[in-house]
Chain A
Amino acid sequence: MTARRLPSGGRIDRGRTVTVSFDGRTFPAHPGDTLASALLAGGQQIFARSFKYHRPRGLMAAGVEEPNALVHLRDGARHEPNAQATMVEVFDGLVATSQNAWPSLQFDIGSVNGALSRFFGAGFYYKTFIGPFRGTGFWMACEKIIRNAAGMGRATTLDDPDHYEKINAFCDVLIVGAGPAGISAALAAGRKGENVILVEQDHELGGSLLGEATGGASDAWLGEALAELRDLPSVRVLSRTTAFGAYDSEVFGLVERFQDHLLVPEAGKPRQRYWLVRTGRAILATGAIERPLVFAGNDVPGVMLASAARAYLNRHAVLAGERVVVATNNDSAYTAAVDLAKAGAKVTLCDLRPYIPGDLSLRALGAGIDLRLGHSVLKAEGGKQVRGARVAAVDANGRVSGTASVVACDLIVTSGGWAPALHLWSQRFGKPRYDAELDAFLPPVEKGVFTCVGSLVGARSATEALDQGHAAGGGAGTRGNLRDHGDFWGRGLMPTTVITNANGSTPGKAFVDFQHDVKLADIDQAHLEGYVSVEHLKRYTTSGMAADQGKTSNLNALARMAALRGMEIPQIGTTTFRPPYTPVAIGAIVAHDHGLHFRPTRLSTIHDWHVENGAQTIEAGAWLRPWYYPSRGESLRDAYIREAAHVREHAGIVDVSTLGKIAVQGPDAAEFLNRIYANGFKTLAVGRLRYGVMLREDGFVLDDGATARLGENDYFMSTTTANAAKVLAQAEFLLQTAWRDLKVHVTTVTDQWAAVAIAGPKSRTVLVELTGADLGKEALPNNHLTYVAIAGVPCRLHRMSYSGELAYEIYIPAKSGRKVWEALVEAGKPHDLKPYGTEAMGTLRIEKGHVAGAEIEGRTTMKDLGLEGLASAKKPFIGSVLRRRELLDDPKRPSLIGLEIVGDAGAKAGSLLFARDVPARGHGEGWVSSTTYSPALKKNIALALLSRGPERIGETIQVVDFVGGQTLQAKVVSHHFFDPEGHRQNG
């Protein structure tokens, strides 16, 4: 191939020259060029090495269907693999490198695979990894080598320096494809004032018109149409944007390559934007993709689609070859042949058809083309570039029927018909219909709110495409006119795309799927091995499974399968089209939803104080909580032990704003609580609070917490941090379904109230001094509440304890949370009040034997947790029936106990429990749920669930951590490690 840039023509800005590089070699280019056209103009013939056989590959197409020219783009953190050179706009400083080749594109050691191709045929993966050695070790080792040898480009592991954005958009009409039909539709809809989004994957609008010679009538139409489009206020044009997915409810996914045409995105701008479009109706004007012919050597650099050769010529002013052989089975290649001839190429046109309409032959002969009817290309001669075409007369089945001769050439262009780009339609609606005349699958023109127009439905001319678009858009205004070439591909098309010797063989490798190196012989092999389903064929041969999703290969593979089975293509069917139409960067889909914003973070209104005072934070669900407050570089262990001990000896303050809080209001609130909690709530007096346990309907514990009665019809329920949303949803569900008779409302007030717990023997003194309230044992016993003002803020004070200490919870209007916290800390200084974090809080509750999320984990019953005594026998409640299931009453069920670990090492949560003298195998007799070092007991302790636990107090058992390889001995004790009589909390 001796491509060259022509001195005039093309849709490039010759006034500006930029420099691009490929494998270190620089090429001049002009704005309007793609990387492919720039390299082609510079004489580059090999763009990549193929996936499996490492065969040299050149350009086959000029657009999104290109299967061969995949390159690495940019370097460093912006490095991007598998970019289609045909879709990359040039810019100054563009750096591209070849992929899948070593040591170089010209000489790739991996090409030895070609000689071993008989071992890499269809089903290679499924046949190879068996024997000869026992086990999988050998092939696991080979896998690394195979993966390195095969495949596509290499992704970078560096952080992406760019950002991406997601946009939700709504419109009346989404039009995909800005060729003549799409533009016509947009004009008609826009004139009616409809809210239109017109999407075009190219950076320039015009579609197939961009392949026309410049300065013609189509340019005039296009210029006027685009000018009008720009002036229509309700039309939004998104160029450089691919509609990659069509989903239910008329939702489309688009990716806009917003800044990809620049070396570096402009400051602050996203590199790509992911549009989620919801439309009232959709007009698909996605065009059609030319089918290649299948013959030996059809992948040699210099074999190209006819439409591509024409696009490079007319759009980029690049003549791809001087001596051209055109092989076709339809009319459309004639326009390309004539254009190439007019540009100075010597053209030989081989048409499979023995007869063609007179106007076609006149056009060809008039352009000086050597026209050979009933002929085709049997083989492309050449290795790294086309040197000639072995041409022969062929019959209707594509079999050679005469003597072959070699025509010297440097470019072979082919056209095997066209495949409408119906991917979006098919993603939405499934199987399309086969049109025998066009030898193609077509969508219906209308289905639901989808209208398909233009080449997608086999429009026979530009005029027909304009008509269809105009009508689909609503028919407003005039349609406009375009000159028709009279080269409709469907007129008299001969549905033969495979060229073989007389005996059906090919004189060399003939490729069906170029991107995955699937040969005609692979399809044949699959057939021989009994594959009859196209879905199985696809997976067995991997045809159509590459990044290009078989845009140029699917129909040829189906046609071959049909021929081998002696069936028609409709009987064979198609594979399923799924999004995305083209590869989409994960970054575009993720957009800003990563890192800090992977999910929203919830912060207490006191959070800043914790951070300012050195707290280490920890995620607890969506919350970020103070974990511990290290003093002078303390470790977590040292800090939590110190903090927990301090609470027991003095007083500590902890932020418990994360507790779930639910207002339960209404005249039937008491009845509601009585039904939702296992224990009774009807007798709870105003000013009192009560610990409660609620179950799921299946009898397992759902959550626990305290509920306070604030007024006659007004309750304040607290839940665990983790289950707040679940409890609220359960309550709302019941009120809206089973309990519609109850006049109750539940409302989350977690955001309304900040909450602080003060615990320890000095806590009462701190609060009395600060509030002046009488908080004596008689005035405010445990499980009572009162109202106080702190720093001028009205607060509610609950006396209750999670730590087992004398303790209070203070509920503060959230926006005053920090103010009250700081007042408490200040007032507590004389009494050595110190903040403590969640780790110490956990230690205190384990010492006290309170259950938490580690114990209420969905598999435990009230009986398992030693809470059976709370369950009311006088009333029904959620879970009251199913908790009596025989299985849940089994005395062997693991039940809550305490463990005192023997030795200095603590147990790991999740460790399994075994009797002392039995082998530690299987799932054991229970597990450790929570573990800590107890400063109060000065030993490592744990909460655990052990089969027949309460009966085994005093027994020594094994605590086995299979993951960490640790086995400890532990003594089974009561889970109430500390102050079991409750003297402290009730004091």
Chain B
Amino acid sequence: MARKHNLPLTGVNSDGASVTVGEVGLGHLTQLAGWGTFTDATGKALQAHSLSLPSDYRTPARNGTTTVWRIAPDRVLVRSSTPLGMQGTDELVTLDLSDARTCMTVAGDGAAGLLSRVIALDFSEKAFPTGTFVQTSLHHVGVLIERQDRDRFLVLLPTTWARSLTDLVVTHLSIAAGHQVEPVAGSRSAP
């Protein structure tokens, strides 16, 4: 079983660079999905919130605290501080996923280096510029990562995997003595 950490916590990676792993509230997360008319239908729906449909799968669209990530040709995720209040139609279906993801933050000089230890991605600023996002896997679990600043990343983790994945990330840090973690309970493999 993965260990439970009291976030935020700060440590250094093996290169000696400082990293703080934390957690922030997700707010509301809504999936919009459609079919052949997706571009028009979603564009109109987003326009009502002064948002546009991103044209690619790396660059989000934003309006204030609302962010739109295009995660597939016919799907977007919208993160917002309040519910979007959109209703599904025959051309567009909406799905509340606010409880399906948690938000881990990884920040500090060593943030990119730390993530490169757990994710097979190029975290250089050239390949992953500030303000862009990627969908990838962390320990075989699908995650969405947004680079918010040169040294700050937001990682959307599936809720039920979050503790294990957070622990894996933290395991790559040297943490000062005194950090509290929950003891590991024993378990058995299914007979």
Q: Interface segment, B50-58, B144-152, B162-170?
A: B162-170
A815 to B28, CA, bound (A): 12
Instruction: Assess the A608–B95 pair: CB atoms within 8 A.
Output: no
Known: A267-B174, A596-B1. A619 touches B96 (CB 8 A): no
Known: A663-B95, A814-B100. A602 touches B33 (CB 8 A): no
The smallest beta-carbon distance between A594 and chain B, in angstroms, is 11
Instruction: Assess the B99–A752 pair: CB atoms within 8 A.
Output: yes
Segment 78-100 of B: residues with Cβ below 8 Å from A: 88, 90, 93, 95-100
Instruction: Assess the A605–B187 pair: CB atoms within 8 A.
Output: no
Which residues of chain B are near A604, meaning CB under 8 Å?
160
B22 at the interface (CB under 8 A from A): no
B2 at the interface (CB under 8 A from A): yes
B42 at the interface (CB under 8 A from A): no
Known: A258-B14, A608-B4. A602 touches B93 (CB 8 A): no
Instruction: Assess the B100–A749 pair: CB atoms within 8 A.
Output: yes
Which residues of chain B are near A663, meaning CB under 8 Å?
95
Instruction: Assess the B160–A603 pair: CB atoms within 8 A.
Output: yes
Residues of A in contact with B, size category: 35 or more
Residues of B in contact with A, size category: 35 or more
Instruction: Assess the A665–B120 pair: CB atoms within 8 A.
Output: no
A657 to B160, CA, bound (A): 9
Q: Contact mask A694-731 → B, CB, 8 Å, 1/0?
A: 00000000000000000101100000000000000000
Instruction: Assess the A600–B161 pair: CB atoms within 8 A.
Output: yes
B70 at the interface (CB under 8 A from A): no
Instruction: Assess the A745–B187 pair: CB atoms within 8 A.
Output: no
Instruction: Assess the B117–A743 pair: CB atoms within 8 A.
Output: no
Instruction: Assess the A618–B172 pair: CB atoms within 8 A.
Output: no
Instruction: Assess the A713–B116 pair: CB atoms within 8 A.
Output: no
Measured CB to CB, the nearest residue on chain B to A752 is: B100
Which residues of chain A are near B160, meaning CB under 8 Å?
602-605, 623, 657, 750-751, 814
Instruction: Assess the B119–A747 pair: CB atoms within 8 A.
Output: no
Which residues of chain B are near A657, meaning CB under 8 Å?
160
The smallest beta-carbon distance between B156 and chain A, in angstroms, is 11
Q: Contact mask B166-191 → A, CB, 8 Å, 1/0?
A: 01100111110000000011111110
A368 at the interface (CB under 8 A from B): no
Known: A168-B117, A592-B172. A713 touches B93 (CB 8 A): yes
Which residues of chain B are near A749, meaning CB under 8 Å?
95, 97, 100
Measured CB to CB, the nearest residue on chain A to B101 is: A751
B44 at the interface (CB under 8 A from A): no
Measured CB to CB, the nearest residue on chain A to B117 is: A167
A195 at the interface (CB under 8 A from B): yes
Instruction: Assess the B100–A597 pair: CB atoms within 8 A.
Output: no
A620 at the interface (CB under 8 A from B): yes
Tell which of A167, A195, A714 touches B88, judged by Cβ atoms closer than 8 Å: A714
Known: A270-B14, A599-B140. A747 touches B174 (CB 8 A): no
A165 at the interface (CB under 8 A from B): yes
B121 at the interface (CB under 8 A from A): yes
Which residues of chain B are near A753, meaning CB under 8 Å?
99
A449 at the interface (CB under 8 A from B): no
Instruction: Assess the B188–A600 pair: CB atoms within 8 A.
Output: no
Q: Contact mask A218-260 → B, CB, 8 Å, 1/0?
A: 0000000000000000000000000000000000000000100
Which residues of chain B are near A267, meaning CB under 8 Å?
174
The smallest beta-carbon distance between A732 and chain B, in angstroms, is 11
Segment 1-48 of B: residues with Cβ below 8 Å from A: 1-4, 11-12, 14, 31, 33, 35
Measured CB to CB, the nearest residue on chain A to B126 is: A195
Instruction: Assess the B139–A600 pair: CB atoms within 8 A.
Output: yes
A601 to B171, CA, bound (A): 15
B129 at the interface (CB under 8 A from A): no
A813 at the interface (CB under 8 A from B): yes
Known: A273-B14, A600-B168, A743-B35. A620 touches B116 (CB 8 A): no
Instruction: Assess the B159–A751 pair: CB atoms within 8 A.
Output: yes
A691 at the interface (CB under 8 A from B): no
Segment 367-394 of A: residues with Cβ below 8 Å from B: none
Instruction: Assess the A268–B116 pair: CB atoms within 8 A.
Output: no
Instruction: Assess the A168–B97 pair: CB atoms within 8 A.
Output: no
Which residues of chain A are near B2, meaning CB under 8 Å?
596-597, 600-601, 603
Measured CB to CB, the nearest residue on chain B to A712 is: B88
Measured CB to CB, the nearest residue on chain A to B26 is: A815
Q: Contact mask A287-304 → B, CB, 8 Å, 1/0?
A: 000000000000000000
A620 to B188, CA, bound (A): 9
A624 to B189, CA, bound (A): 9
The smallest beta-carbon distance between B84 and chain A, in angstroms, is 16
The smallest beta-carbon distance between B33 and chain A, in angstroms, is 4
Instruction: Assess the A169–B190 pair: CB atoms within 8 A.
Output: no
A363 at the interface (CB under 8 A from B): no
Q: Contact mask A190-209 → B, CB, 8 Å, 1/0?
A: 00000100000000000000
Tell which of A268, A592, A745 touches B174, judged by Cβ atoms closer than 8 Å: A268
Which residues of chain B are near A112, meaning CB under 8 Å?
none
Segment 138-182 of A: residues with Cβ below 8 Å from B: 165-170
A617 at the interface (CB under 8 A from B): yes
A924 at the interface (CB under 8 A from B): no
A667 at the interface (CB under 8 A from B): yes
A268 to B119, CA, bound (A): 21
Q: Contact mask A608-624 → B, CB, 8 Å, 1/0?
A: 10010000111110011
The smallest beta-carbon distance between A853 and chain B, in angstroms, is 10
Which residues of chain B are near A617, meaning CB under 8 Å?
1, 185-188
The smallest beta-carbon distance between B127 and chain A, in angstroms, is 7
A320 to B96, CA, bound (A): 76
Segment 745-761 of A: residues with Cβ below 8 Å from B: 745, 747, 749-753
A599 to B138, CA, bound (A): 11
A624 to B163, CA, bound (A): 12
A623 to B1, CA, bound (A): 9
Measured CB to CB, the nearest residue on chain A to B29 is: A752
A276 at the interface (CB under 8 A from B): yes
Which residues of chain B are near A258, meaning CB under 8 Å?
14
Tell which of A170, A593, A752 touches B97, judged by Cβ atoms closer than 8 Å: A752
Q: Contact mask A21-59 → B, CB, 8 Å, 1/0?
A: 000000000000000000000000000000000000000
A935 at the interface (CB under 8 A from B): no
Which residues of chain A are near B120, meaning CB under 8 Å?
168, 276
The smallest beta-carbon distance between A957 and chain B, in angstroms, is 24
Which residues of chain A are near B117, meaning CB under 8 Å?
165-168
A627 at the interface (CB under 8 A from B): yes
The smallest beta-carbon distance between A599 and chain B, in angstroms, is 7
Q: Contact mask A259-298 → B, CB, 8 Å, 1/0?
A: 0000000011110010010100000000000000000000
A599 to B160, CA, bound (A): 14
Instruction: Assess the A665–B164 pair: CB atoms within 8 A.
Output: no
Instruction: Assess the A618–B189 pair: CB atoms within 8 A.
Output: yes
Which residues of chain A are near B119, meaning CB under 8 Å?
168
Which residues of chain B are near A743, meaning CB under 8 Å?
35, 90
The smallest beta-carbon distance between B76 and chain A, in angstroms, is 12
Segment 563-619 of A: residues with Cβ below 8 Å from B: 592-593, 596-597, 599-605, 608, 611, 616-619
A666 at the interface (CB under 8 A from B): yes
A-B contacts, 21 listed (Cβ < 8 Å)? A165-B14, A167-B116, A168-B121, A169-B116, A270-B14, A592-B171, A597-B139, A599-B139, A600-B165, A601-B164, A603-B2, A619-B189, A623-B160, A627-B188, A663-B95, A667-B90, A743-B35, A751-B161, A813-B99, A814-B100, A815-B99
Interface pairs A-B: 6 shortest CB-CB = A268-B174, A170-B122, A665-B93, A752-B100, A751-B100, A814-B99
Interface set of A (CB-CB < 8 Å, partner B): 165-170, 195, 258, 267-270, 273, 276, 278, 592-593, 596-597, 599-605, 608, 611, 616-620, 623-624, 627, 657, 663, 665-667, 711, 713-714, 743, 745, 747, 749-753, 813-816
Interface set of B (CB-CB < 8 Å, partner A): 1-4, 11-12, 14, 31, 33, 35, 74-75, 88, 90, 93, 95-101, 113, 116-117, 119-122, 124, 127, 139-141, 158-161, 163-165, 167-168, 171-175, 184-190
A-B contacts besides A597-B2, A751-B158, 7 pairs, CB < 8 Å = A166-B117, A269-B174, A592-B168, A592-B171, A601-B161, A616-B187, A749-B97
